Amino acid sequence: MTTGQHQDYMQRALELAAQGIGSVEPNPAVGCVVVKDRRIIGQGFHQRFGGPHAEINALADCRNHGFDPAGAMVYVTLEPCCHTGKTGPCTQALIEANVGAVVAAVQDPSDKIAGKGFDQLRQAGIDVTVGVCEAQARRLNAPFFKFANTGRPWVIAKWAQSIDGKLSWRNPPVDGNWISGSKSRQDVHQIRRRCQAILVGVNTIISDNPRLTVRIPGQSIERQPLRVVLDTHLRTPIDCHLTTTAEAPTLIAASEHAIQDNHDKAAAFREAGVELLPVNPCNQNPDLPYLLTELGRRGIQQLLVEGGPTVLSSFITQHLADELCVYIAPLLLGQDGIADMASALNVSAIPKLCDVKINTFEQDIKISALLSDDFIRTLLDPS
C-alpha cells in the first residue's frame, strides 16, 4: 500500500477520533479504521469516558456488517492500550481478531503503555508501522500529551471582547453583562465540557457571581468540572453561586495567612463543601506554577481560564497558557467598557501564536490558536 493510501485511511481515523472530543476526556480521542482488500470493512472511535475504545468499536463494526477482520490492516490514531483499566486491553482484542497489521499515528506517551502495546503486537506476529500523520495525531490530543510529559494541565485562556478590547460593560444592559452573542456562549460550554476544571479570579465572582458549570440544552453532563477561584485574601462571598450550588465541586486557592485570619469564614466554606487550598503569593501574585502542579496531581488534564484581564494576562505572560480562544463581538464600547485586555497584555513577554483557526458564530468572530513555546513546537513538529 502506498504512503498516500496509508495517509488517506489515517485521515479517516483522525476524523472519527475528533468526534469523541468533549465526551472522552481525560482519555485521549482515538479513531480506528479496519481495511481489507483495499476497502474499509469497519470503523469506530472512543465515544465516551469509560466506554469501549476505538479498536473495540471498529472490530465490532466489522462483525456487525458480516466482515471478518482476520488478516486486515488496522489504522489507529494512538498506540493500542495493553493494560486493563475501565476496559480490557485493545492489544489482546487485535491479537484474538488475528489482524495482519497495525498502522499507528503515534506512540502513547503514558507510562502504562509507552511502546509496550506495539511490543505485544509484534510478539504476536502482527506487523506494526508507526508515524503516519503523527503531527496531526499529536495536535488532536495535545492536552493528553502535555499531561503525560509534564504532569500539568493544558491551559486554555478564553475571553470575549469588543473590537476595542473591552471585556465588560461599565453599566451592563438589562439582559446581562454579555459581550458575545448566544451562539458564542453555547460554544464556550462545549469547551468547558472537555475540561476538568474552570478557573476565574475572585473579582469575577464578586462582579458576575457565575455558576461555572457546563450547560448544554438536551444533554445531561455526567461529570461537571472543578470550579477554581484565585482568591489570595479570601474575599469570595460565602453566599455566591459556587457555594450554594452543589452541582460541581469548588476549590478556592487562598493564602495560608488569609485562611487562618478568616477562621469563621473558612469554616463556613468547608461546611458548604468548598475546599480551601493554601497557595501562597509569589511577588504579590498567586503562585500559578505551584497551582498548576497541584491541579495536575489531582488529575486535571485541561484547565479553562475564564477570568478577567489580570488573571488571563498572568497565565499568558508567564508562558503558562497553551491555547487561546478569543471571541470578538462587533461592538465598540469606548468609555462604556471596562476590563481592557490590550492594556493588560502591554508587555514584551507575549508568546507568538501558531496553528491559528478562525470561526464565526453569528456576528461574532472566534480566534483560536496555540501559544508557541518549546513544548508546542515539539508537539507540532516531532522530528
CA distances from 379 to 66, 98, 293 (A): 39, 33, 20
Smallest Cα–Cα separation from 10: which of 194, 146, 138?
138
Active site residue 96: no
Task: Quickly list DSSP for 231-269.
Answer: -TT----TTSHHHH--SS-EEEEE-HHHHHHTHHHHHHH
C-alpha span between 58 and 38 (Å, rounded): 16
Give the H or E element holding residue 277. Answer: strand 275-278
Q: Return the axis-axis angle of helices 3-18 and 54-64, rounded to nearest 10°.
A: 100
Q: How would you classify the pairing of strands 197-201 and 226-230? A: parallel
C-alpha span between 140 and 209 (Å, rounded): 34
Smallest Cα–Cα separation from 149: which of 159, 138, 157?
138
Residue with cell 475528533: 18
Are 73 and 100 spatial neighbours (Cβ–Cβ below 8 Å)? yes
* Peptide bond between residue 69 and the one before it cis (omega within 30 degrees of 0): no
Q: Which of 25, 55, 79, 306 is catalytic?
A: 55
- Positions marked catalytic: 55
